[in-house]
Amino acid sequence: LFAYGYWVAAGVVEEKSSRVVEVLLATLRPSHLLRGKILGIGLLGLLQLLLIGLVALFVSNAVGSLEFPTGAIATMGVVLVWFVLGFFFYAGLFAVAGSIVTRQEDLQTTMTPLTILIIASLIIGLSATGDPDSTLAVVASLLPFSSPLVMPTRIVLGDAAPWEVVASLAISVVSTAALIPVATKIYSRALLRPGRVRIRQVLRAGAD
């Protein structure tokens, strides 16, 4: 999630700093440019993860280094589904992080909150392997920013109730659907502004 999200943010900054975005916006709407970037990188990430998983399964079985349970393929499918949900949620946030700065050096600062969220979610996901029914694990598996790293663990261990899985999916989809238009609005308004831009300033300018 972090790697592919960073690709989105870094791509936005590169286009903005090199002024390529001004040429692109002559023929494309900002929303189309952002959606194309997110879909392209998301598809690449999904195919890459799928390829890594399949190669790992094939090689490990061929050399006999690991024994996989019968549900290994299903587990991979669960992880990929939540990767897609998590990527689209975070991609909008990473795009915003890239659109409000002009230099790659400043990108690390704007990405810090997202980095903390992903790392914290990863820690909770790892702890869920030992106690998947803890209150922290259950709540984190329902929240859109942490569910991609926690819910697959609880599903594989058989500790996620069906309603929790459905609720996690619904919350992720609804949250992403609500987030993308806001992220697109900030991205569109900040893209052609020089220097560091404050999100509150961009939103207020649009309201004015």
41-76 tens-digit pLDDT? 888 888 888 888 788 778 877 777 666 666 667 777
- Tell me if the pTM is above 0.85: no
**Residue whose C-alpha is closest to residue 96's, from 205, 18, 179:** 179
Instruction: Kindly state the percentage of the chain with pLDDT values over 70.
Output: 92
Question: Is pLDDT at 207 greater than 70 in this prediction?
Answer: no
131-178 tens-digit pLDDT? 888 999 999 999 999 999 999 888 888 888 899 999 999 999 999 999
pLDDT, the chain, mean: 84
pLDDT band at 197 (very low <50, low <70, confident <90, very high): confident
Question: Is pLDDT at 200 greater than 80 in this prediction?
Answer: no
Q: What per-residue confidence (pLDDT) applies to 123? A: 92
CB 24 within 8 A of CB 32: no
22-45 tens-digit pLDDT? 777 778 888 888 888 888 888 888
